[in-house]
Structure 1
Amino acid sequence: MTVATLVSAVVVGLAVGVLGRLAVPGRPTAPLWLTLVVGVVAALAGSVVARLAGANGQGFRLVDVVVQAGVAGLGVVLVAATAGRSDSA
């Protein structure tokens, strides 16, 4: 993984975390720091997935960014949907 890939993963993860936070209607149950951390970690995982899928991973590539954003978006949605839930009956 190159430095450009890491930087793009952090930027994409933070952007998806903030946008995911803004997209949730009503009062969000997940704290801001959690959505940001999940966005960054999921974007880094997206970089690994893109690399394993055959993306070159050399520098700043659109395929990497799209996969990073998709995986980060999925992670933020899952956290926003499940944060603050208590399933104890």
Structure 2
Amino acid sequence: MTILWAVIAGLIIGLLAKLVLPGRQPVPLWLTVVLGIIGGLLGNGLASAFGVADTNGVDWIRHALQIGAAAVLISLITPLYTGRGHRHHHRF
């Protein structure tokens, strides 16, 4: 069940990260999920380092750090991904 929750959280974090970035990020959904998972882990680490990982109520700062970390990762990976010739190919 933990892997399923990681994938769901990665999907949500990755999609929210893509929303806060300007323009279009033509990376596939699987890469968005992977970067969302990594961003979530990095955001948790930053929240722990800043002492805001667990607060009363919703952990807004932790979630913002997770989305921010994922947004940075997506903005770094998108040019690398699209620059290597990974474009949409239509098969007939």
Q: Which TM-score bucket, shorter chain as reference?
A: 0.5 to 0.7
Tell me how large the CA RMSD over aligned residues is. Answer: 2.9
Which structure carries more relative contact order (alpha carbon 8 Å, separation 6+)? Answer: 1
Alignment counterpart, residue 51 of structure 2, candidates 22, 42, 54: 54
Q: Point out where structure 2 has 5 or more consecutive residues left out of the alignment.
A: 85-92
Q: How does 1:73-84 map to 2 (within 5 A)?
A: 73-84=71-82
Instruction: Answer whether contact 2:13 2:36 (CA < 8 A) is retained.
Output: yes
Aligned to 1:43: 40
Question: Which portions of structure 1, spanning 4 or more consecutive aligned residues, are displaced by more than 4 angstroms?
Answer: none
Which residues of structure 1 form unaligned runs of 5+?
none
Identity rate, percent: 28
Match of 1:32 in 2: 29
Closer, same or farther: CA 39–56 of 1 in aligned 2, 3 Å: closer
Note if contact 2:13-2:66 (Cα within 8 Å) is conserved in structure 1. Answer: no
Counterparts of 2:53 and 2:14 in 1: how far apart (Å)? 26
Q: CA 1:64 to 1:81, structure 2 compared with 1: closer, same or farther past 3 Å?
A: same
Shift of 1:56: 4.1
User: 2:90 is matched with which residue?
Assistant: none
- Relative to the length of structure 1, the TM-score reads 0.63
Please say if residues 46 and 71 of structure 1, whose CA atoms lie closer than 8 Å, have aligned partners that are also in contact: yes
Q: Which amino acid aligns with 2:69?
A: V
